[in-house]
Structure 1
Amino acid sequence: MEVLFTSAGLISLLTLTALEIVLGIDNVIFISIVSNKLPAHQKDKARTLGILIALVVRVALLFGITWIIGLKEPLFSLGFLEGLNMDPHFSGRDLILLGGGLFLIAKSTAEIHDKLEGHEEGGAAKTVGLTLWKAIVQIVLIDIVFSFDSILTAVGLVQEILIMIIAVVIALIVMLVFSKGIADFVENHPTIKMLALSFLVLIGFLLVVEAFDVHVPKGYIYFSMAFALLVELLNLRMRKKTIKTQLTHPETEKVKVDQ
């Protein structure tokens, strides 16, 4: 416990907490999109249960660090990958990342298809085939995949398990506090939802290539996501301003159309 009250301990805690929050953004987006497909009275429950289960999973994984490190040991190899400049050896961790990445790509692609085909327009049709527990199972599955990335980051930065647990707890509390706001914002802005789904496809692809030991610096990915989000927020602001102008000065807009 004394380590928390040292300058090194506090810096490690703040750094790791910030990284856990950043790494948890894609998790919150997935939880928001899945929970928004449920009836209104179940959305908050799904988000809360999903994040609480994520907390339990991550803390449990922290206590199983030795097991997680063991998952990096090769299980089998595919010789033809050597010719493609890829590591031919596959570990338990690689298989988890591969399965999680493919699941995320498939789920996000299906959501994009439904959005483009207009299957979400009807209120009752929106929830067909998805129950609360099905949603929670999906959330838990992707939580486990994201948790490996989160825990491996923690192990690489900090040696004290107490600091890791506190950082994970703080990060997930932040996710819990802001999850409803993020979910509502995504649901109320179709273009943001499409952008979020595209992000999830990108994250899924990143998990797949990491399973083949192709390492892409995450800083580039998160910068690209932040830049795309900033551009879309500017577009939303511009559209809102245009609509406001049309409502306030309809005669001006009519003159422009006539010209």
Structure 2
Amino acid sequence: MEQLFTVESLITLLMLVLLQAVLGFDNLLYISLESKKAPPEKQSFVRKMGVGLAIILRIILLFVLMSVIQFFQEPFFSLHDNNILEFEFNVHSIIVLAGGVFIIYTAIKEIWHMMLLNEHEEIEKNEKKGSIKKVILWIVIMNLVFSFDSILSAMALTSDMEYVPQLVLMSIAIILGGVLMIVLADKVSNFLQKNRMYEVLGLFILFIVGIMLLSEGGHLAHLHILNNEVTQMSKTTFYFVIVVLVIVDIVQGRYQKKLLAEKQHQEAVVKKEEES
């Protein structure tokens, strides 16, 4: 246990917490959007409860992965020597692929509702908010899906440590990362609530998160389509795309304000000329 009380262990713990924060960004966005399905007065509670339960289940998942990691990586269904489709599915790849499909479905559904709902339907939708238990359940499930990457990466960072110190250090990192996520989830949700125009941006980022999960799941399954290998989208590419989307959204917003100001100015000029 003396391994826990060294400078090297503290640095590793800091790196693990940062890892939880960086890899948890997409999860944070999902939590903020999913919690909107609960009644407004219960949304903060739903986020805290969902992440709190997920922290406990993440630690349990950590125990499981450290004990039976080989079974998660072992292919159980494969197809080879086929020019159309080749794969080697394992438990890990199936979980990640299912998470990607669900995230894309959620993003498309919310974007579709946003495009079709009129004001009356919006009121009805708010009155028929989803079940709190159901929202918490989905937050927990998706939190576990997103946690696979962070746990496996954390295991790689601490691979040179003995079993007990490694387990304790990773558990502390999961708890600290979860607390940070609870705090940031409220802030992100409040920001989206006050700046509704960024909801569309958030949903499209969520859509890209789904694509990233699909690419990761395909990579884990060694998926080949028409002899073309499915490669994993890197985190660098993911964050680059997000930065581009944010910049485009900011420029588009300012350009629309400029057009609106010019239109109002022209209308004022025309009205003044008519009065004179």
Q: TM-score, normalised by structure 2?
A: 0.80
Partner Cα separation in structure 1 for residue 267 and residue 4 of structure 2: 62
Q: After alignment, is 194-203 or 126-135 more displaced?
A: 126-135
After TM superposition, the structure 1 stretch with the greater mean CA deviation from structure 2, 64-73 or 8-17, is 64-73
Instruction: State the match for 2:57 in structure 1.
Output: 57
Moved over 3 A (4+): 82-86, 230-236, 238-242, 250-259
Distance (Å, rounded) in 2 between the aligned partners of 1:68 and 1:239: 51
Structure 2 residue runs of 5 or longer lacking an equivalent are 160-165, 220-230
Task: Please tell me the residue identity of whatever aligns with 1:79.
Answer: H
Number of aligned residue pairs: give it: 252
Is residue 2:26 matched to residue 1:35?
no
| Closer, same or farther: CA 230–21 of 1 in aligned 2, 3 Å | farther
Amino acid at match of 1:199: I
Instruction: Return the letter of the residue paired with 2:190.
Output: D
Go from structure 1 to structure 2 and tell me whether the alpha carbon gap of 1:221 and 1:256 turns closer, same or farther (over 3 Å shift).
farther
1:180 partner amino acid: D
Alpha-carbon distance between aligned partners in 2 of 1:156 and 1:26, rounded to the nearest angstrom: 21
Q: CA deviation at 1:67?
A: 2.2
Assess, with a 3 A threshold, how the Cα gap between structure 1 residues 11 and 254 changes in structure 2: closer, same or farther: farther
Instruction: Please say which structure displays the higher CA radius of gyration.
Output: 2
**Alignment of 1:222 onto 2:221:** no
Please report how far the alpha carbon of residue 215 of structure 1 lies from its aligned counterpart in structure 2 after TM superposition: 2.1
Residue 73 of structure 2 aligns to a residue whose secondary structure is coil
Structure 1: distance between partners of 2:183 and 2:143: 17
Matches within 5 A, 1:79-94: 79=80, 83=83, 88-94=87-93
1:46-84 CA-partner distances (Å, limit 9, x unpaired): 10111101101211111112223420100111226x646
Q: CA deviation at 1:111?
A: 0.7
The aligned residue for residue 197 of structure 2 is: 191
1:83-130 CA distances to partner (integer Å, 9 max, x unpaired)? 4696x2110111111111111111111011111112676334225261
Q: Which structure 1 segments of 5+ residues have no match?
A: none
Question: Structure 1 CA distance, aligned partners of 2:252 and 2:206?
Answer: 21
Q: Which AA in structure 2 matches 1:151?
A: I
SS in 1 for 2:123: coil
Q: Note if contact 2:39-2:130 (Cα within 8 Å) is conserved in structure 1.
A: no
Q: Is the 8 A contact 1:20 1:168 kept in 2?
A: yes
The CA deviation string for residues 19-56 of structure 1, in whole angstroms up to 9 with x for no partner, is 11011111111111111122112111110111101101
Percent sequence identity over matched residues? Answer: 31
In 2, the alpha carbon distance for the partners of 1:257 and 1:84 equals 66
- Give the letter for the 2:40 counterpart: A
Task: Assess, with a 3 A threshold, how the Cα gap between structure 1 residues 149 and 258 changes in structure 2: closer, same or farther.
Answer: farther
Paired AA for residue 206 in structure 2: L
**8 Å contact kept, 1:37–1:127:** no
TM-score, length basis structure 1: 0.84
Contact 1:61-1:68 at 8 Å conserved across structures: no
The SS at the match of 1:77 is: strand
Corresponding position: 1:115 with 2:123:
no
Q: Which moved more, 1:105-114 or 1:205-214?
A: 205-214
Which AA in structure 2 matches 1:97? V
